[in-house]
Amino acid sequence: MTAVLLVAHGSADPRAAAATRALTRAVAAQRPGLDVRCAFLDHAGPRPGEQLAAFAALGHRAAAVVPLLLTNAFHGRFDLPAVLDRARAEGLDLDVTTTDVLGAGAPALLLSALRRLLPPVRFDGVVLAAAGTRDDLARHSVDQAAAALGAALGVPCTPAYASASPITGAVAVETLRARGCTRIAVSSYFLAPGKLHELVVASAAGAGALEPVAPPLCAHVDVARLVVSRIGDFALVRAA
């Protein structure tokens, strides 16, 4: 078997860990024969180093690490590499390959999940609700996702953030109204539920966005398929 580790940021909200574990089971169901597990950088356990050590103890020679992140901000560029470097320094005997984050390049499967999770209501504009970051490149990737989603839906789509940006859910709703939109849906650019998701969604709903809003992305099978696509041919090559 080949080992795959899905690494989420982690949250104090237990619903986030539950959603990550459900996604892990869905990925394992898509690729029978892979040893698929999850870990968390913060708040919840187990941690990545523990799971990688467990893989090595079982005799795995290699593992693919998939960051369950939508943008390649601080957690993807610094936190996760530091964790992996520390594991190697502590004697980890495992060939570890890290894939791109899930949102890199606004992939078709991610856009499919965003579209399919939108509630079945008529709308002429969409707010893409995201967590927020001070990283310019990460914000640009959210802008790309919003533009791609809007193009796929044929309506204007603008991002909104729970933190680190003045563009709240309410500001995004007003921006769309200024463009002539009157029925504004909310798409969730979050993998799992939690405080930040609720904050930005409540801001948009308070400004008159349509309810219900789309749930976080872990709820859709296309995200499991996206994880599998990030793994690519890794498992086939390593198992040969």
CATH number of 108-219: 3.40.50.1400
2-103+221-239 and 108-219: same fold?
yes
Give residue for tokens 């463009």.
179
Q: Comparing 12-16, 183-187, 203-207, 232-236, which segment has the lowest mean pLDDT?
A: 232-236
Confidence of residue 234 (pLDDT cuts 50, 70, 90): low
Task: State the first-to-last Cα distance of the chain, in angstroms, to the nearest integer.
Answer: 10
199 and 233 in contact (C-beta within 8 Å)? no
Looking at domain 2-103+221-239, does it have CATH number 3.40.50.1400? yes
> For 99-154, what is each residue's pLDDT tens digit?
999 999 999 999 999 999 999 999 999 999 999 888 888 899 999 999 999 999 99
Cα separation, 157 vs 176, in Å, equals: 8
Domain boundaries defined on the chain: 2-103+221-239, 108-219
138 and 73 in contact (C-beta within 8 Å)? yes
> For 47-101, what is each residue's pLDDT tens digit?
999 999 999 999 999 999 999 999 987 655 668 989 999 989 999 999 999 999 9
Half-sphere exposure (CA, 13 Å, Cβ side) for 25? 6
80 and 67 in contact (C-beta within 8 Å)? yes
Cα separation, 186 vs 149, in Å, equals: 12
